[in-house]
C-alpha cells in the first residue's frame, strides 16, 4: 500500500490512490544494458500490478535478458513497448547510455555520481544539459542516514554462496576434496532456496566429519552489521555453524570441532584502538578516525580462514588489511608431524577474502580491481604484489564482484521493488520540466534529487567543486608526474614495471623490438605506454624518446648502453642500468658529469646485490677496526636442480646473448697476492673449479671479468685474494667450450644472417663454420664438427641435442652469437611449472685489531615462482626499480657515474628488497 501524502499548495491532496492527478501519469521501466549479467529490474510484476490497479500506465521496455519474463509484466497490466517517451518517470537499476536519455524527464537509477566519479561525469553533464531530474537510490536515506532503497541483503547472499564455491576450488587446488565442491556459483541456482539446500547438503557432510582433518577448523569473519553482512550470515547459517566472539577465534581455530564451522561478526570496537593509548572511543573515532589503527591483522586475521568484508573505507580511516599485513599472514606454517604429501596442511590460515563491498583500494588495500561474474576469482600473491586469474598458486583467493545481486535477479528485483515502491508515486506525479521547488516531495525523495532543471541541486553542488578540485589536482599531478622510459621488455621488465607502477605519479613508456612481449606487458599494465621500435637501429627516434622522459632504465644488452648513455647526456636525462660499468661507459664519465646527470650502473644481482652485500659487511668490519684480507664472491642464475636435465644443465631466465658472451670475456683476479690474467676468447672456460659450499648442488665456478678493479672502490687494498666469479652446474663450461671451438660464440657482424638475406639452415651455417662445401651429407658434417671439437663426445651430443646439424632455419640476427641466443631461448626456456634459482656466496676474510681472523659467509638463495617472476627477474629487476625510484624521488642525487658502494645507496635498497622476498643470511667463523 502506498504511503499517504499531500501537496500543501492546495491544488490537490493524495490519500492512497483516491485523488487523481490532472492527467494520467505514465511510468516506464527501462531495459538494462550496462552488461550481459544485468538481469534485474527496479520493480517486479507485483508492483506493476498495484500501480496499474491505481490507474497508472506502466510501460516496460522489451528485454530478453531480463530474468522476469515479459508475460508476467503483461499479466500485471504492464505494456511492453520500446518507445517510453510518454513516461514522466523512467526507472532502472543501472545508468542508461547518454544517447538514450530523454530530455526533461524524471529518471531514477544508481548513477554513481555522488563522489564525482570520473567515469560517470559525462553522464551527469548530459543529464544537466537535457534538464533531466535525477533521483539516485543511493541517496534515499532515513533520518539516521540509513539507506531505505538497496540491494544490500542480496549482495551478501550471493557473495556468501560464491565464496563457498570458491573455497571448494581453492581447497581442491591445495590437495583437499571438501563438501564445498558441491556448491555452485549463485547464478547457477534458480533461486536462493535452491542455493540454501546445496549449502545445507554440504553442511550435512561437514557434520558427518567429512572435512579433511589436516585443514583444521574453519573460521569465517563477517565485517559490518548492515544488510550486506546479514545477508551473508543468513546463507552461512545453512551450515552447521557456531558464532563466537572475536577474542574466541584463536582458540576455536586451533582446537575447534571439525564437524562444524565457526563464525564471528566484527564491529569497530573489536579491532579499532587509539594509537596513543590502545582504547576505543566511538564518539572520538567519528570525529578523529585518523588517530586510530586497526588490530585486525594481528588479533583476528591470523585465525581467520575466510573474511567476508561488507564495509566501505573512508579516507583517513584505518584499513583492515594492507599489503604488508598480507605478506606476514601468508608466511608458510610449519608442517605438523602428522602431515603427509597426500594429506597436506594448509600453507597458511587465511585462505580467502570475499570483498562484498567491492571497494577498490579500500579497507582491503590490495583489492585494486573487482572480479566479475564471468571470472569471479583471482589469487593475490603478497610477496610479488601481483594478482593472477586462478585458484592455484600462492596467495589469497579473492572474490570482489561489484554486481552480486544480479546473480539472483528475481528475488533481488522483488526485494528492491518492495523498498522502492512506497516512494514511486510521489516521483511519478511530477513532471521533470516543472521547477523542483514546486514539488512537495518527502525528505527521503527530495534529498535524493541530484539534478533538476539543468542544475545540480543545492545539496549536491559540491559535486562540481569535487570535479574542479580533482581536475586541478590531476593537472598538478600531470605536471609533477615523473616520466620513465624503460628500454627492453624481456624477463626483468616485469618486476621493474610492477614496482614502479605502484606509484600513480610515475608515467612509464616501454620501448622494445619484441612486439609479442610488449603486448603481454600491456595486458598486465594497462597504464603503461608501449612503443614498438628497435632503438639501436633508429637513433633519432631513441633520442626523441629519451628527451620526453626524466629517467631512462636500460635493460638492453650491455653493448647498447654507451649509445643510450650518449642520448641521455645530450638530453640531460638520468640513466639506470643493471649491467657492468664497462670501459666504453667509463669513457663517458666527463660528459656525464658535465651534463649534470646521474648514471647508475651495476644495479642488478651480479653486479649489484653482490656489491651491496659486500659493502655492508666491509663497512661494518671497518667500524670495529678490522681489515679485509680476502674477498671471494660467486653468483649464478640456474634452473632449480629438478629442471637442469639438458646438456648445458642450464635454462634461460634472462638475456641469452648476455649469458653466452660472458663465457668469452677476459678475466683478471688476485689470488694469494698474485695477479692472474685470463685472455678473452674462451680461455675462461678452462679456469673452472668445483664449488662445494652447497655440496648437494654440484656446482662449478669460473672467474668473471676484472675482479682486481674492485680493490679500490671497495676499499680493500689490504686483501691478498680478490675473486669474483660465475656459478654453473658441473658440465656447463665443457659444453659451452664446444660452442666456442665451433665459432658459435662470435659477436662480430655476420651479414648472411640479416633478415634481408635468404634464410640459412643450421646445417648450412655449420658447414660454413667448419669449412666444408654444400651440400654435405649429415654424417660428413657430423664428422667435421666432431673433429673441430677435438673428438669430445659430450660436446658433440650437445650440438646434436640443440639441432645445430639439422635443417631448422637459423634465426635472423646481427651476429652468430645473436642467432644462437635466439635459438637457445626457444630450445631452453623454462616450461610451465618450472622455476629457476639464483645462488650467491660471498666469503670475506677479516683481520681484527686483536690479531684474530674471522671468515664471514653471506648466502643469498632465491627461487623463482611457478606462475610469477623468475628468481633472476626478481633479483635484477627489483634492485634496478628501487634505484630508479630513489633517483626520481631525490634519494640518490649524486651526479656522475654511480655504483651501489655507499651506505646511502645500498642501505635503503637492501632494506627494500627484503620486502620483495629477497632475503640473505650471514654467519661467521672465528679463527684464533
Other residues' Cβ atoms within 10 Å of the Cβ of residue 83: 10
* Whole-angstrom distance, CA of residue 34 vs CA of residue 401: 15
- Among 606, 610, 836, 865, the active-site one is 606
**E strands, 683-810, in order:** 689-691, 699-703, 721-729
Question: Is residue 864 a contact partner of residue 851, using CB atoms and an 8 Å limit?
Answer: no
* Whole-angstrom distance, CA of residue 505 vs CA of residue 772: 60
CA torsion 300-301-302-307 (nearest 10°) is 120
Q: Give the CA distances from residue 888 to residues 404, 481, 553, 568, in Å, rounded to whole numbers and listed in that order.
A: 42, 10, 12, 15
* Whole-angstrom distance, CA of residue 161 vs CA of residue 881: 41
SS3 content of the chain, % helix, strand, coil (to 5): 40, 20, 40
Other residues' Cβ atoms within 10 Å of the Cβ of residue 342: 7
* Whole-angstrom distance, CA of residue 723 vs CA of residue 899: 19
Alpha helices in 778-893 (DSSP H): 778-788, 793-801, 816-827, 871-888
Q: Which residues contact 576 (CB under 8 A, 6 or more apart)?
A: 551, 552, 553, 554, 599, 600, 603, 880, 883, 884, 887
* Whole-angstrom distance, CA of residue 411 vs CA of residue 161: 15
* Whole-angstrom distance, CA of residue 842 vs CA of residue 724: 9
570 is catalytic: no
CA torsion 510-516-519-525 (nearest 10°) is -60
Question: Is residue 733 a contact partner of residue 685, using CB atoms and an 8 Å limit?
Answer: yes
Tell me the angle at which helices 561-571 and 539-547 cross, rounded to the nearest 10 degrees: 50
* Whole-angstrom distance, CA of residue 181 vs CA of residue 178: 6
Q: Which residues contact 339 (CB under 8 A, 6 or more apart)?
A: 214, 345
DSSP reduced 3-state for 912: helix
User: Which residue numbers are catalytic?
Assistant: 606
Amino acid at each position: 500500500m502506498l504511503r499517504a501524502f499531500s501537496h500543501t499548495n492546495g491544488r490537490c491532496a493524495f490519500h492512497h490512490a483516491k485523488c487523481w492527478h490532472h492527467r494520467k501519469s505514465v511510468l516506464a521501466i527501462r531495459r538494462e544494458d550496462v552488461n550481459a549479467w544485468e538481469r534485474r529490474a527496479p520493480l517486479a510484476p507485483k508492483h506493476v500490478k498495484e500501480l496499474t490497479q491505481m490507474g497508472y500506465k506502466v510501460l516496460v521496455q522489451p528485454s530478453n535478458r531480463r530474468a522476469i519474463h515479459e508475460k508476467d509484466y503483461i499479466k500485471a497490466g504492464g505494456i511492453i513497448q520500446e518507445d517510453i517517451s510518454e513516461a514522466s518517470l523512467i526507472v532502472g537499476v543501472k545508468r542508461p547510455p547518454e544517447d538514450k536519455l530523454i530530455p526533461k524527464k524524471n529518471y531514477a537509477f544508481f548513477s554513481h555520481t555522488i563522489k564525482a566519479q570520473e567515469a560517470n561525469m559525462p553522464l551527469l553533464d548530459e543529464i544537466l544539459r537535457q534538464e533531466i531530474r535525477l533521483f539516485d537510490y543511493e541517496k534515499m536515506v532515513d533520518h539516521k542516514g540509513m539507506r531505505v532503497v538497496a540491494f544490500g541483503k542480496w549482495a551478501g547472499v550471493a557473495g556468501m554462496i560464491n565464496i563457498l564455491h570458491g573455497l571448494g576450488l581453492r581447497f581442491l587446488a591445495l590437495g583437499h576434496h571438501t563438501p564445498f565442491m558441491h556448491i555452485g556459483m549463485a547464478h547457477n541456482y534458480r533461486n536462493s532456496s535452491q542455493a540454501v539446500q546445496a549449502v545445507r547438503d554440504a553442511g550435512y557432510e561437514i557434520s558427518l566429519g567429512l572435512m579433511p582433518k589436516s585443514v583444521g577448523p574453519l573460521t569465517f569473519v563477517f565485517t559490518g552489521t548492515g544488510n550486506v553482512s546479514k545477508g551473508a550470515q543468513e546463507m552461512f547459517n545453512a551450515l552447521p555453524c557456531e558464532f563466537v566472539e572475536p577474542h574466541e577465534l584463536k582458540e576455536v581455530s586451533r582446537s575447534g570441532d571439525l564437524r562444524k564451522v565457526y563464525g564471528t561478526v566484527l564491529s569497530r570496537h573489536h579491532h579499532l584502538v587509539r594509537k596513543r593509548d590502545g582504547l576505543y572511543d566511538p564518539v572520538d573515532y567519528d570525529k578523529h578516525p585518523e588517530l586510530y589503527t586497526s588490530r585486525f591483522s594481528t588479533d583476528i586475521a591470523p585465525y581467520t580462514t575466510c573474511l567476508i568484508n561488507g564495509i566501505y573505507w573512508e579516507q583517513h580511516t584505518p584499513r583492515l588489511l594492507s599489503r604488508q599485513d598480507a605478506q606476514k599472514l601468508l608466511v608458510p606454517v610449519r608442517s605438523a608431524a602428522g602431515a603427509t604429501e597426500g594429506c597436506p596442511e594448509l600453507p597458511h590460515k587465511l585462505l580467502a577474502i570475499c570483498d562484498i563491498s567491492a571497494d577498490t583500494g579500500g579497507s582491503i588495500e590490495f583489492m585494486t580491481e573487482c572480479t566479475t561474474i564471468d571470472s569471479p576469482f583471482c589469487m593475490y600473491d603478497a610477496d610479488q604484489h601481483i594478482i593472477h586469474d586462478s585458484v592455484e598458486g600462492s596467495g589469497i583467493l579473492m572474490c570482489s564482484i561489484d554486481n552480486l545481486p544480479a546473480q539472483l535477479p528475481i528475488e533481488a528485483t522483488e526485494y528492491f521493488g518492495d523498498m522502492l515502491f512506497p516512494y514511486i508515486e510521489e516521483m511519478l506525479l511530477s513532471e521533470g520540466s516543472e521547477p523542483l521547488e514546486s514539488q512537495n516531495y518527502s525528505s527521503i525523495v527530495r534529498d535524493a534529487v541530484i539534478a533538476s532543471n539543468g542544475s545540480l541541486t543545492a545539496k549536491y553542488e559540491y559535486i562540481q567543486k569535487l570535479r574542479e578540485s580533482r581536475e586541478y589536482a590531476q593537472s598538478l599531478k600531470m605536471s609533477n608526474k615523473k616520466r620513465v622510459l624503460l628500454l627492453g621488455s624481456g624477463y626483468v621488465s616485469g618486476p621493474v614495471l610492477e614496482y614502479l607502477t605502484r606509484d600513480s605519479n610515475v608515467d612509464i613508456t616501454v620501448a622494445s623490438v619484441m612486439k609479442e612481449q610488449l603486448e603481454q606487458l600491456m595486458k598486465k599494465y594497462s597504464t603503461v605506454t608501449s612503443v614498438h621500435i628497435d632503438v639501436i637501429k633508429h637513433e633519432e627516434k631513441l633520442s626523441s624518446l629519451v628527451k620526453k622522459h626524466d629517467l631512462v632504465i636500460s635493460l638492453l644488452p650491455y653493448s647498447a648502453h654507451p649509445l643510450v648513455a650518449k642520448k641521455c647526456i645530450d638530453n640531460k636525462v638520468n640513466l639506470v642500468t643493471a649491467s657492468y660499468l664497462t670501459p666504453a661507459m667509463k669513457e663517458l664519465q666527463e660528459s656525464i658529469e658535465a651534463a649534470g646527470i646521474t648514471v647508475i650502473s651495476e644495479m642488478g644481482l651480479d653486479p649489484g646485490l653482490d656489491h651491496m652485500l659486500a659493502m655492508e659487511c666491509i663497512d661494518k668490519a671497518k667500524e670495529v677496526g678490522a681489515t679485509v684480507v680476502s674477498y671471494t664472491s660467486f653468483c649464478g642464475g640456474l634452473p632449480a636442480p629438478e629442471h637442469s636435465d639438458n646438456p648445458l644443465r642450464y635454462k634461460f631466465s634472462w638475456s641469452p646473448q648476455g649469458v653466452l658472451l660472458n663465457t668469452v670475456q677476459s678475466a683478471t683476479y688476485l689470488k694469494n697476492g698474485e695477479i692472474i690474467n685470463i685472455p678473452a676468447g674462451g680461455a675462461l672456460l678452462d679456469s673452472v673449479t668445483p664449488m662445494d659450499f652447497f655440496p648437494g648442488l654440484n656446482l662449478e665456478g669460473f672467474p668473471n671479468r676484472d675482479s682486481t678493479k674492485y680493490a679500490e672502490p671497495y676499499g680493500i687494498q689490504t686483501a691478498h685474494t680478490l675473486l669474483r666469479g660465475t656459478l654453473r652446474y658441473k658440465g656447463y663450461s665443457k659444453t659451452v667450450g664446444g660452442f666456442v671451438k665451433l665459432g658459435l660464440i662470435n659477436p662480430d657482424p655476420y651479414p648472411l644472417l640479416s633478415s634481408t638475406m635468404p634464410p640459412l639452415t643450421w646445417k648450412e651455417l655449420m658447414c660454413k663454420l667448419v669449412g666444408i662445401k654444400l651440400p654435405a651429407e649429415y654424417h660428413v658434417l657430423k664428422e667435421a664438427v666432431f673433429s673441430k671439437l677435438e673428438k669430445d663426445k659430450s660436446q658433440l651430443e650437445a650440438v646434436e641435442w640443440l639441432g645445430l646439424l639439422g635443417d631448422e632455419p637459423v634465426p635472423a640476427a646481427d651476429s652468430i652469437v645473436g642467432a644462437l641466443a635466439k635459438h637457445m631461448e626457444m630450445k631452453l626456456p623454462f616450461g610451465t611449472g618450472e622455476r629457476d634459482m639464483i645462488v650467491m656466496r660471498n666469503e670475506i676474510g677479516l683481520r681484527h685489531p686483536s690479531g684474530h681472523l674471522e671468515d664471514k659467509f653471506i648466502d643469498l638463495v632465491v627461487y623463482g615462482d611457478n606462475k610469477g617472476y623468475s628468481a633472476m627477474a626478481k633479483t635484477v629487476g627489483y634492485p634496478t626499480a628501487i634505484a630508479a625510484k630513489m633517483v626520481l624521488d631525490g634519494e640518490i642525487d649524486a651526479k656522475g657515474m654511480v655504483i651501489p658502494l655507499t651506505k646511502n645507496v645500498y642501505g635503503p635498497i637492501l632494506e627494500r628488497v627484503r620486502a620483495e622476498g629477497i632475503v640473505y643470511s650471514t654467519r661467521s667463523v672465528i679463527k684464533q
